[in-house]
């Protein structure tokens, strides 16, 4: 007696499952690290990843803020923090209070040579710690502009360059290689990376794979087809 051919739906199920596996296999590796300036809040000699960008943050008088250029993960717990201590007294000791102004200590860390874009060198005076005096309502970006021009921003108002470094690029993805920022220490506390972290760059590998909606839709169709196969087999028994 010849064996009964499997229902046509079974072939559909196998085809859909094969398509799902093909999509995942063809999807490129996700770029996990980015080359960018991260922004930090300092308190009690410790650094915490800032929960908003420098253009909206308004540090109080006596605050410490930090900036670090590096190849880092786009996550607060894995980003490279400034290597100098968050010490307001040490940075602003020689800057006397002024009427109608607030003092903000800034620690600007240009990173390590391995993290610099190809063909660029770190500024000669890096890293640096400076005291800025701005209006009481001044933002972190305004304090930074007082002491570290020229600054460079992209169309999304993301900070791309401080004191002209780097000359080009802004939050571009970098393939993990285990070098450069691997020795960076983790921040003392986590924040919200989306508030200041790098946006997906054009051509980012994260945009070239199958979307979650597409895969979910295929999986749902496959599940319905499998249910149809089971019902068909039950009717034939």
DSSP state of 145: H
Q: Check residue 125 and give its pLDDT.
A: 77
Structure confidence at residue 188 as a pLDDT band (50, 70, 90):
very low
Please name the residues in contact with 200: beta carbons below 8 A apart, sequence gap of 6 or more: 173, 206, 207
- What is the pTM for the complete model shown? 0.66
Length reported for the chain: 237
Please name the residues in contact with 31: beta carbons below 8 A apart, sequence gap of 6 or more: 173, 174, 175, 204, 205, 206
For the stretch 110-124, pLDDT in tens is 999 999 999 999 998
CB 74 within 8 A of CB 232: no
List the structure tokens of 201. 């760059």
CB 70 within 8 A of CB 112: yes
Which among 7, 82, 5, 73 is positioned nearest to 41, based on CA atoms?
82
Q: Check residue 58 and give its pLDDT.
A: 98
């Amino acid at each position: 007696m010849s064996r009964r051919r499997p229902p046509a739906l079974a072939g559909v199920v196998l085809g859909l499952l094969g398509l799902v596996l093909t999509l995942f296999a063809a999807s490129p590796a996700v770029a996990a690290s980015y080359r960018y300036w991260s922004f930090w809040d300092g308190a009690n000699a410790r650094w915490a990843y800032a929960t908003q960008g420098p253009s909206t943050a308004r540090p109080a008088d006596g605050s410490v803020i930090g900036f670090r250029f590096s190849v880092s993960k786009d996550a607060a717990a894995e980003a490279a923090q400034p290597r100098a201590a968050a010490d307001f007294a040490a940075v602003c000791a020689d800057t006397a209070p002024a009427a109608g102004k607030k003092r903000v200590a800034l620690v600007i860390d240009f990173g390590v040579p391995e993290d610099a874009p190809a063909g660029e060198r770190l500024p000669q005076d890096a890293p640096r710690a400076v005291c800025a005096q701005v209006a009481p309502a001044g933002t972190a970006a305004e304090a930074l502009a007082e002491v570290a021009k020229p600054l460079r921003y992209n169309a999304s108002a993301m900070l791309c360059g401080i004191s002209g470094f780097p000359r080009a690029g802004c939050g571009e993805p970098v393939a993990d290689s285990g070098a450069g920022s691997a020795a960076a220490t983790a921040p003392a506390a986590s924040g919200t990376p989306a508030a200041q972290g790098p946006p997906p760059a054009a051509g980012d590998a994260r945009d070239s794979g199958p979307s979650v909606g597409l895969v979910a839709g295929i999986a749902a169709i496959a599940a319905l087809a499998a249910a149809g196969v089971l019902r068909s087999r039950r009717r034939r028994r």
